Amino acid sequence: MPLTLFLTLFPMFGSAFFVVRFIGTDSCPIISTVIALLLLLVTLILSSFLFFVILILIYIFCTFPRYLCFSLLAGMTSACIWQSSESLATFRAEIAADNEAEIYARIRSLRGRDYYNLPPQNNPGEYEGLVHNNFEQAIDVPHYRAILDREYFELTVLERKGLLQDRLFDLMFGEQKIYRIMELSLYTNIRTEAYDFLEGKVEPVSSLQHSFQRDIMDGSLNFFIQDTNQSGRNSQIYREFYSHFNDEVFRLKFGLPLP
Which pLDDT does position 204 carry in this prediction?
86
**Do the beta carbons of residue 239 and residue 168 sit within 8 Å?**
no
Give 207-241 as a DSSP string.
T--SHHHHHHHHHHHHHHHHHHHHHGGGSHHHHHH
Cα 64 from Cα 140, distance rounded (Å): 33
Q: How many angstroms separate the CA atoms of 44 and 107, rounded?
A: 56
| pLDDT for the residue 124 | 84
- Distance CA(10)–CA(14), nearest Å, equals 6
* Short-list 154, 132, 145, 245, CA closest to 198: 245
Query: pLDDT tens across 26-73, in order?
Result: 444 555 555 555 655 555 555 555 555 555 655 555 554 544 444 444
Q: What confidence tens digit (pLDDT) does each residue in 154-183 have?
A: 999 999 999 999 999 999 999 999 999 999
pLDDT of residue 140: 94
Tens of pLDDT, residue by residue over 179-222, are 999 999 999 999 999 999 999 999 888 888 888 899 999 999 99
